[in-house]
Amino acid sequence: MPGIVVVGAQWGDEGKGKITDLLAERGDAVVRFQGGSNAGHTIVGNGETWKLHLMPSGILHPGKLCVIGNGVVLDPKVLTDELDELRRRGVDTSGLRISANAHLIMPYHLLLDHAGEIKLGRLQIGTTRRGIGPCYADKAARLGIRVQDLLDEKILKKKIVAALEPKRLSLREFAKDQRLDLQAMTDEYLTYGRRMQMYIADTSRLVQERLDAGDLVVFEGAQGALLDIDHGTYPFVTSSNPVAGAACIGAGVGPKDIDEVWGVTKGYTTRVGAGPFPTELDGSLADELRQRGGEFGTVTGRSRRVGWLDLVALRYAARINSLTALAVTKLDVLSGQEKLCVCTHYRGAEGAEFDHFPYHQTVLHHAVAEYEEMPGWSESLRDCRSEHELPEAARNYLQFIADFIKVPIALIGLGPGRDEVIWTKASADMYGSGAVAAPALAAEPNDR
């Protein structure tokens, strides 16, 4: 029963959508297990670009089961808009299933997210303002409203009243806002409920059935390890756990159902929003990488901060996720750099050397990245389709990463398109061995 988790190994936007779509082609089901419409997952295929926020990145392959798990916080407006858009573009969305236990983003969550950021002023986190933090807070406070509540007007209304009660003070400035009118809100959400009804299911059981049948199930993470609320750069994090362990909780399966964990990393680093970023670059090099990599947020359009590859952070992500393979995306963006820097340790304010990601916020905020320099390459990589077609310097760069992290590289991304990728020899070795019952993965590695 092969279960593969795909997680972000940096600060998000690593290319999880593309990798999930590629695995989904060979798999049977894709499950989103945390986060919400703060995610923006891009897939480029058949000359078209798709930007998905809530829809699992398997939806473009007809007939796949696409699950929004209980761990997701779901904005029904975003979901129904996304459904409309996909249908308009001719995508079959009948494979979608939504957990009845997933929590709903309510209009007051959006307002509170926005107001909270304004109040923080210069200290703001730079959230996507999609209501994620306030929704997870209500879930923990047991004031959340779940997908199943949309199917009963009386229950829905009662729960909205209970959720609004303790927020009266913080919502005072929105007292006249139509979006907070009890009846209007109830009616709006009942309408969403009617639209979503056909997709609502006991998704934990559906996923388990697929795993028991030996199907390949891909658990699609959102955000990334360094944005994890427990293990990331708190408080500059999201409000869920994007690490692999959360796949079990957010999908309703057990730890033994997970066979493989793929960490997605760019060949460099980006971050959107505030918070420490030891390898951050500025000036013309940052601008160049940002332009070449199209580093502008999928959700908010903000410029992404860019920096060199941080192997201290990546090794940390490998540890807390038990990564079994790496997918290194956007290697093509590094073409034309005479030299490349990779961060191998940090230097603390008092001169101490840190080989491991510091757990202390103050240490991390003052950490300075120290680098190993490597020769770059001038060639475009976009047309390479096997490892030996890559320039030697690119191969050395990848080898350095794999050796440092001690995790094999299964996939190399050389462009946004589905075919702009190399399935490595390591992936053939891993999946060709039969150790994981996913022989389809190794059937056609284009390195042969």
Which DSSP string do the residues of 182-211 spell out, in sequence order? HHHHHHHHHHHHHHHGGGEE-HHHHHHHHH
Please say whether the beta carbons of 104 and 275 come within 8 A: no
- Count of residues interacting with ligand IMO (CB under 6 A): 23
DSSP β-bridge partners for residue 3? 217
Query: Does 150 help bind ligand IMO (rule: CB under 6 A)?
Result: no
Query: Does 238 help bind Mg ion (rule: CB under 5 A)?
Result: no
Least Å distance between CB 236 and ligand GDP? 18
Least Å distance between CB 42 and ligand IMO? 8
- Write out the binding residues for ligand IMO, residues 244-273 only, by CB under 6 A: 272-273
Q: Is 177 an annotated catalytic residue?
A: no
Q: Which of 2, 8, 35, 40 binds Mg ion (CB under 5 A)?
A: 40
Query: Does 298 help bind Mg ion (rule: CB under 5 A)?
Result: yes
Query: Does 13 help bind ligand IMO (rule: CB under 6 A)?
Result: yes
CA–CA gap between residue 445 and residue 448 (Å, rounded): 6
Name the binder of 134 from ligand GDP, ligand IMO, Mg ion, none, CB < 5-8 A by kind. Answer: none
Nearest CA-CA partner of 245 in 221, 226, 277: 221
Residue 238 makes CB contacts below 8 A (sequence gap 6+) with 35, 38, 127, 132, 133, 223, 227, 228, 229, 232
Query: Does 413 help bind ligand GDP (rule: CB under 6 A)?
Result: yes
Least Å distance between CB 270 and Mg ion? 10
CA–CA gap between residue 238 and residue 36 (Å, rounded): 10
Query: Does 8 help bind ligand GDP (rule: CB under 6 A)?
Result: yes
Name the binder of 127 from ligand IMO, ligand GDP, Mg ion, none, CB < 5-8 A by kind. Answer: ligand IMO
Q: 3-state DSSP call for residue 418? A: coil
Interacting span for Mg ion (CB under 5 A) from 37-45, 115-123, 265-273, 357-365: 37-45
Query: Does 126 help bind ligand IMO (rule: CB under 6 A)?
Result: yes
Q: Which of 227, 333, 367, 430 binds ligand IMO (CB under 6 A)?
A: 227
Query: Does 415 help bind ligand GDP (rule: CB under 6 A)?
Result: yes
Which DSSP string do the residues of 315-373 spell out, in sequence order? HHHHHHHT-SEEEEE-GGGGTT-SEEEEEEEEE-TTS-EESS--SSHHHHHH-EEEEEE
Q: Is 41 an annotated catalytic residue?
A: yes
Please say whether the beta carbons of 436 and 420 come within 8 A: no
CA–CA gap between residue 14 and residue 19 (Å, rounded): 9
Number of residues assigned to the chain: 448
Query: Does 228 help bind ligand GDP (rule: CB under 6 A)?
Result: no
- Write out the binding residues for ligand GDP, residues 33-92 only, by CB under 6 A: 40-42, 44
Residue type, 172: R
CA 410 to chain centre: 18
Please say whether the beta carbons of 291 and 330 come within 8 A: no
Q: Which of 127, 203, 233, 337 binds ligand IMO (CB under 6 A)?
A: 127
The site for ligand IMO (CB under 6 A) is made up of 8, 12-13, 38-41, 125-128, 130, 132-133, 222-224, 227, 238-239, 272-273, 298
Positions annotated as catalytic residues are 13, 41
The site for ligand GDP (CB under 6 A) is made up of 8, 12-18, 40-42, 44, 294, 298, 329-330, 332-333, 413-416
